């Protein structure tokens, strides 16, 4: 296995063998920046592949399937098979370039013409280990069903649709979290989602006058401007709002903003697929800073009940 570096990128290529995890660990142990691990490998030792994946997850790195164009800081399509496919799942945020290849196969002992009981036991142990690893990495368990269904000596290349539906990639967005939490004197509704751009979090709380307000928390990641135009993003539409009081900017990169919601806007939220906060330099600016939290279908009843209870008190 070969490892190369640029400032925030680690490029991994070649076969993965039993020595690869320790080599990878030593290569990245002193890195403290946001890191993207770029994979281009035919695979190798599956146990080692999972071990590298766990190192990547522990360090909070993201993974790509692509490779560096020699002599440049650009990338081109790559290939990731077998053990590499398992290593890739360790990425906190996972991306596969459109033309890159991601392939899996069923484990077998290539040195045995007739499988022995020991071979079968080993196969069952490794199959269980891979299944547990896939679950640990938060990937759809159906990926394991696909792996064990692949014929001997065959490699199955996943389509872009399969890669997305099996949650092999997450395109820089972890699953949203929606909860109702208790504090002294009441409850609040919290929605948050981690992305490769930072954390976005919204806290909804009831007011005594049958209204609802929100606290928006965004991990800015850089020094923000003091004055912004603020808007709510509900699905693909924006609704301009004025903050309540001072917008608080913290040294750790977070910006906190409070808003009051009209009943109409509040009800639009639980009918939508996503909700967020946009900050722009001007109303007509083509770009914005901010975040979006997805609203899964199964969370809408909880969100609706909380909002309607606020508006009826």
Alpha-carbon gap, residue 294 to 171, rounded angstroms: 14
Alpha-carbon gap, residue 27 to 249, rounded angstroms: 36
Using an 8 Å Cβ cutoff, are 241 and 229 in contact? no
Query: Which stretches of 150-193 are DSSP H helices?
Result: 160-165
pLDDT in tens, 252-270: 788 999 999 999 999 999 9
Q: What is the pLDDT of residue 221?
A: 65
Look at residue 121 and tell me whether its pLDDT is greater than 80: no
Alpha-carbon gap, residue 137 to 161, rounded angstroms: 20
Domains of the chain as residue ranges with CATH: 2-165 (3.90.226.10), 177-312 (2.60.40.1880)
Per-residue CA distances from 226 to 40, 139, 223 (Å) = 43, 40, 9
Q: What is the pLDDT of residue 71?
A: 83
pLDDT in tens, 159-168: 999 999 999 9
Alpha-carbon gap, residue 50 to 72, rounded angstroms: 30
pLDDT average, residue stretch 205-228: 83
pLDDT in tens, 88-108: 999 999 999 889 999 998 775
pLDDT average, residue stretch 30-43: 89
One DSSP character per residue, 22-60 reads HHHHHHHTT--S--EEEEEB--B-HHHHHHHHHHHHHHT
């Amino acid at each position: 296995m070969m490892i190369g570096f640029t400032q925030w990128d680690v490029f991994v290529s070649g076969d993965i063998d039993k020595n690869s995890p320790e080599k990878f660990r030593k290569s990245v142990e002193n890195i403290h920046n946001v890191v993207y691990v770029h994979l281009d490998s035919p695979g190798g030792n599956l146990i080692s592949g999972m071990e590298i994946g766990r190192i990547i997850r522990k360090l909070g790195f993201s993974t790509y399937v692509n490779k560096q164009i020699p002599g440049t800081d650009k990338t081109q399509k790559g290939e990731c098979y077998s053990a590499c496919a398992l290593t890739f799942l360790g990425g906190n945020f996972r991306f596969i370039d459109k033309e890159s290849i991601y392939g899996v196969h069923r484990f077998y002992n290539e040195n045995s013409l007739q499988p022995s009981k020991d071979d079968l036991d080993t196969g069952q142990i490794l199959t269980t280990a891979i299944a547990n690893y896939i679950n640990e990495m938060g990937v759809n368990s159906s990926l394991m069903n696909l792996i064990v269904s692949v014929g001997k000596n065959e490699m199955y290349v996943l389509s872009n649709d399969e890669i997305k539906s099996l949650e092999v990639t997450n395109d820089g967005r972890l699953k949203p979290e929606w909860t109702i939490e208790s504090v002294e004197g009441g409850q609040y509704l919290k929605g948050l989602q981690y992305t490769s751009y930072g954390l976005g979090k919204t806290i909804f709380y009831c007011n005594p006058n049958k209204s609802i307000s929100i606290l928006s928390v965004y991990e800015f990641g850089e020094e923000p401007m003091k004055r912004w135009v603020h808007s709510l993003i509900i699905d693909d539409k924006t609704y301009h709002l004025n903050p309540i009081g001072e917008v608080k900017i913290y040294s750790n990169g977070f910006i906190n903003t409070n808003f009051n919601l009209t009943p109409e806007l509040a009800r639009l939220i639980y009918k939508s697929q996503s909700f967020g906060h946009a900050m722009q330099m001007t109303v007509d600016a083509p770009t914005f800073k901010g975040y979006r939290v997805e609203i899964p279908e199964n969370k809408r009843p909880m969100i609706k009940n909380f909002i309607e209870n606020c508006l009826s008190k």
